[in-house]
Structure 1
Amino acid sequence: MKAFIFDLDGVITDSAEYHYLAWRALGEELSIPFDREFNETLKGVSRTESLERILRLGGREKDFSTEEKERLATKKNEHYVSLIKNITPDDVLPGIEAFLSELKQAGYKIGMASASKNALMVTRQLGLLDAFDHIVDAATVAQSKPHPEVFLKAAEALGVEPKACIGVEDAVAGVEAIHAAGMFAVGIGDPAVLTEANIVFTDTTGLTLDNVLTHI
């Protein structure tokens, strides 16, 4: 193994909560209430597909033109961006900074494969921009997770074969994308949910090089 490729939301920082709050506000505006359980189905999914899922939930998928849907998605993102302006280095999840340092010292390439178009901004606010050799976000890919494009692009940018990469994800769609790319999948979260991952840690404190490599 030569590289680790991380998702952002729910792995590096818990900006997933801000996504939930912004989507919930839009849902309420459209009279489509949803709970955290439904929100789990949006994790790792593109903004456009998330909106489609919310509209289908409310039976309103045919009520809006393509242009109107774009405006709704933009409105959600503007709300999300206003929320994440409060993110600081204190919002890096436990153990992540130590793990990134350990990987760098051991000579591994480090990439990011995020479904967020705001990945660069968030990573900068977290003070971690220099920790990554390359960041691929949703703005630079045509296909969203579970399609493997974002992970394959990250591997290509790092100059590493996919089979020599380890992907780290907290979402089912992300784990599917990692496997579709031909990589080893590390899941962060509930083992009962991330059943397709090769190894699952309940939270980021379990991420150490030894803990991962002993399962490969």
Structure 2
Amino acid sequence: MKAVIFDLDGVLADTVEFHYLSIKKVAEREGVPFTREMNQQLQGMNRKHIMKEILKPSSKSYCDNEIDQLAELKNKYYIDYIQTLAPGDALPGMVDFLEELKSKKIRTAIASSSSNARTVLENLGITGYFDIIINAKDITRMKPDPEIFLKAADELEADYRECAAIEDSEAGLKAIKATPMFSVGIGEEPFLKHADLYLKNTKEISLERLSTAFINSMKRN
């Protein structure tokens, strides 16, 4: 294993809740329902696509410009929330895991659909752990398309088969599974059990556990 590629929201930081609260504000403003279950289903998608999805129940017709404006409003709310993040707010176990990867000179990348990924990393104080940061502005196709993971591996100059990629969303896991990479699913959603390595939470991750599962997978293949 030469490289590990990370999703951001729900893997390194508990920003999924911030996305939910931001979208919920827009939904309430427009008089459409929005639940945590819907938020889970929309993880990994860009904000314009999210706006189109949540506005479907509305009796109002929205032009592209109006959807763009609402997407920007959602982003404004989200930026306000992520400003509350500080060093120490990374999800449990992840900084220790990043330290392990760094000590073994395993290359790392972020593959996040969020255009605010760098801000989140800077606020958490963990930007320096990553060799490459790929976000929505660097790609043309969103998850579940695998483009973002393939681009991250290409930027790292790593063979896809020597990469592990970590996700907590269904769209993200589908994207990884569409590549030759080793997939890691973190969280309690049932679909995550389809990953090559399934972990209930970030506390369970370690380089030893990942390496063992990765090697066993290589032997089976």
TM range (shorter): over 0.9
The separation in 2 between residues aligned to 1:177 and 1:44, in whole angstroms, is 10
The separation in 1 between residues aligned to 2:49 and 2:66, in whole angstroms, is 14
1:1-216 matches, within 5 Å, as: 1-56=1-56, 58-60=57-59, 63-190=61-188, 192-216=190-214
Q: Which of 66-75 and 179-188 deviates more?
A: 179-188
The separation in 2 between residues aligned to 1:192 and 1:141, in whole angstroms, is 28
> What amino acid is the match of 1:72?
L
Q: TM-score, normalised by structure 1?
A: 0.95
| 1:139-174 deviation line (CA, Å, top 9, x unaligned) | 111111001111111101111011111000000100
Aligned length: 214
Q: TM-score, normalised by structure 2?
A: 0.93
The separation in 1 between residues aligned to 2:172 and 2:160, in whole angstroms, is 15
The separation in 1 between residues aligned to 2:197 and 2:49, in whole angstroms, is 27
Unaligned runs of 5+ in 2: 215-221
Deviation at 1:191, TM superposition (A): 5.4
Aligned-residue CA RMSD (Å)? 1.2
> What amino acid is the match of 2:141?
Q
User: Contact 1:190/1:200 (CA < 8 Å) preserved in 2?
Assistant: no
Instruction: Determine what percentage of the aligned residue pairs are the same residue.
Output: 40
User: Contact 1:191/1:200 (CA < 8 Å) preserved in 2?
Assistant: no
The separation in 2 between residues aligned to 1:198 and 1:30, in whole angstroms, is 40
The separation in 2 between residues aligned to 1:154 and 1:29, in whole angstroms, is 37
Deviation at 1:193, TM superposition (A): 2.7
User: Contact 1:176/1:196 (CA < 8 Å) preserved in 2?
Assistant: no
The separation in 2 between residues aligned to 1:52 and 1:115, in whole angstroms, is 16
The separation in 1 between residues aligned to 2:150 and 2:124, in whole angstroms, is 25
